[in-house]
Structure 1
Amino acid sequence: MSTASLIDRYEDYRTRRFLTHEATFAKWLPAWRTRHRRRILAGVVVALIAAMFPIAVATYFFPVIAVVWLPVALVFLPTWTCLQIVSGRQSDAPRHALDEREIAERNSARSIGLSVAQSLLLIPIFALMWSPPFDFIDHKALCYSAGGFALAAILFSGCLPAVLLAWTRPDDDPEDQL
């Protein structure tokens, strides 16, 4: 069994599974499939993740603020799920399920997400690397705060491709829905 055939079989399985899920969710939330409403969902997702950054920083000074993370996460999860449903999960679709234009858009959005991840993750990394010589820093609190910041950065950069695609994708052609 060659490695290429194993990868090809996995890609075929992933494509079949994606198309099955796409058919299942194609009729869900039809009123939210317009560009305007996708942009509302994308904005809410970005706002919720943006709220996670100051919460993470504030936990260094006031550890009890970490409790605020829970309601933000509880609102984020269904909002993110709705955004994925109405945008057709184009950001994580297998290549065999997309046409050439969609693949190029997806890859561009993923590239932006990776660049954002690399940039944002440098902040907690440098904070953790450069803090040990300073005794006045609460290192436990810094680790917790930096972990929250890193989690928010990973969430933001992971969601960013879907947000960008949902924001820029035009409305579906009404004739396609008949």
Structure 2
Amino acid sequence: MSEERGRLAAYWERQLERLDEIERKRALRLPTWRTRKRRRTLSVLVLTGNLILIIGAATFRSQPSTLFVVCWFGGCVVAGGSHYLLRILTGKMSGGFSLRLDEREREWRHRVTFVSYQILVVLMLIAVFYSLIIADTEDGGVRGAMMACALLVTGTTLSGVILGWTLPDDDPEDFDEGVAPA
């Protein structure tokens, strides 16, 4: 039993080291974008992409129309690409383990996670009510599932959006000393 535990602990340490290495590489990307203005722009783009996804889900029918396809894939590209860049700019706070964060970062992350969880719950309630309203229409189940999917994607991107909107600018001294920002 202890040998198995030792292997699991060693595996866990290797995973943490791998994630730290990825974070060190990611922290060096886009150094000129690490401003509040850029993060806020990306936050707005993520929300815009999510809104496009929701519009696509609302227009879904049994035979997908051109509007649905454009909205669904366009929203995925806009929201997905912006969210990826936003995660790079918010650093380990948006994707790292809580143990690896300092107290300030942990406090930001917990606050943002709680707020985004509450909003996600409200979005899922909206999806339930939407599904109930359209239940008697043609393909109501599939349309409700598409809306739930769009709202779930929106809810899962909210923590990064809130972090991107609220984080202050990085300290310029971090760049002068050669230390990568978090």
TM-score with structure 1 setting the length: 0.83
In the alignment, is the contact (CA less than 8 A) between 1:34 and 1:172 conserved in 2?
A: yes
CA distance in 2, matches of 1:143, 1:169: 40
**Which residue type is aligned with residue 31 of structure 2?**
P
Corresponding position of 2:88: 85
SS of aligned partner of 2:59 = helix
- Determine whether 1:170 maps to 2:168: yes
Compute the displacement of 1:127 (Å). 3.9
- Determine whether 1:94 maps to 2:97: yes
Provide closer, same or farther for how the CA distance between residues 14 and 43 of structure 1 changes in structure 2, counting only shifts above 3 A: farther
Provide closer, same or farther for how the CA distance between residues 13 and 150 of structure 1 changes in structure 2, counting only shifts above 3 A: farther
How many residues align? The count is 173
Greater mean alpha carbon deviation, residues 168-177 or residues 7-16:
7-16
Provide closer, same or farther for how the CA distance between residues 67 and 118 of structure 1 changes in structure 2, counting only shifts above 3 A: same
Structure 1 residues 28-83: Cα deviation after superposition (integer angstroms, max 9, x where no partner): 11111111111101110111102211221122498413212112212322221111
SS of aligned partner of 2:91 = coil
Provide closer, same or farther for how the CA distance between residues 46 and 131 of structure 1 changes in structure 2, counting only shifts above 3 A: closer
Higher relative contact order (CA closer than 8 Å, sequence separation 6+): 1
* Structure 1 gap segments, 5+ residues each: none
CA distance in 2, matches of 1:104, 1:6: 32
Provide closer, same or farther for how the CA distance between residues 104 and 6 of structure 1 changes in structure 2, counting only shifts above 3 A: farther
Provide closer, same or farther for how the CA distance between residues 116 and 11 of structure 1 changes in structure 2, counting only shifts above 3 A: farther
TM-score with structure 2 setting the length: 0.81
Corresponding position of 1:67: 69
CA distance in 2, matches of 1:150, 1:6: 40
Segments of 4+ in structure 1 off by > 3 A?
A: 1-15, 60-63, 126-132
Select the residue among 149, 153, 175 that pairs with 2:147.
Answer: 149
Provide closer, same or farther for how the CA distance between residues 123 and 4 of structure 1 changes in structure 2, counting only shifts above 3 A: farther
* Structure 2 gap segments, 5+ residues each: 177-182
In the alignment, is the contact (CA less than 8 A) between 1:15 and 1:97 conserved in 2?
A: no
Compute the displacement of 1:19 (Å). 1.5
Provide closer, same or farther for how the CA distance between residues 40 and 130 of structure 1 changes in structure 2, counting only shifts above 3 A: closer
Corresponding position of 2:19: 18
In the alignment, is the contact (CA less than 8 A) between 2:45 and 2:78 conserved in 1?
A: no
Q: Percent identity of the aligned residues?
A: 29
